[in-house]
Amino acid sequence: MLKIQEIREIIKLIDQSSINEFTYESDGTTVTLKKSDESSSVMQEAVVKQAETLQKQPKKESVPAIEENKKEPPEEVQEINKHDDSNNDDDNNTFEIVSPMVGTFYAAPSPESDPYVTKGSKVDNATVVCIVEAMKLFNEIEAEVSGEITEVLAEDGELVEYGQPLFRVNRN
């Protein structure tokens, strides 16, 4: 499956080329990109305006700005979790699992299924605790720490922001 950064790079390459339509198929997933001269310039203007707006907004001190040259946001979030004291309560045994991206929070793999974890659930580093859907891609979020879930901070189907705390874990 393509990562968001890879899709962005493909869009840039297509935009710079004379190709008007591009289709990529892999593992039953199809990505089709079409362009026209008008929509390309309108899209570029929208992206530039959005970037200017983001640069003008005041930054939150506890959450660093996303760097476009980062290829794997989950590693960035891991670094935040390890080194950012604002991510941990005064009690050094409490850890917050945060959203690595903007998207929709899902507590279970499907509406009929039980949630991945609930308050009191035991987790380890590789335990999947939820899914965050972004751009029709379902990203499994792992606990990245061993312990017990003490609080679920997001509701199923809720829109979550980058760096937003999703769970609190009491470390072992």
Q: Does residue 168 register a pLDDT over 90?
A: yes
Per-residue confidence at 67, pLDDT binned at 50, 70, 90?
very low
Count Cβ atoms below 10 Å from residue 147 Cβ, excluding itself: 19
**24/41 Cα distance (integer angstroms):** 23
Q: What average pLDDT score do residues 68-74 get?
A: 47
Torsion 22-72-128-130 (CA) sign = negative
Taking only the tens place, the pLDDT of each residue in 10-60 is 777 777 777 778 787 777 777 777 776 554 444 555 444 454 555 555 554
Average pLDDT, rounded, for the chain: 75
Structure tokens at 29: 């997933």
**Which domain does 40 fall in, by range?**
4-56
Global model pTM greater than 0.75: no
Shared-domain flag, residues 114 and 158: yes
pLDDT at 81 over 50: no
2, 149, 154 from 144: Cα distances, Å: 23, 12, 18
Structural domains of the chain, count: 2
Residue 118 inside a domain? The answer is yes
Are 88 and 149 in contact by the 8 Å Cβ rule? The answer is no
104 within domain boundaries: yes
Does the pLDDT value for residue 134 go beyond 70?
A: yes
By the 8 A CB rule, do 74 and 98 touch?
A: no
- Same domain? 97 vs 158: yes
Q: Which of 97, 102, 86, 98 is nearest to 160 (CA)?
A: 102
What's the pLDDT score for residue 58? 54
- 20 and 95 share one domain: no
Please report whether residue 64 resides in a domain: no
Which is more confidently placed, 47 or 170?
Answer: 170
pLDDT (average), residues 56-81: 49
Q: Is 147 left (phi over 0), alpha (psi -120 to 50) or beta?
A: left
Residue 6 structure tokens? 């890879």
33 versus 96: the higher-pLDDT residue is 96
- The single residue listed with the structure tokens 């530039």 is 48
pLDDT-derived band at 82, boundaries 50, 70, 90: very low
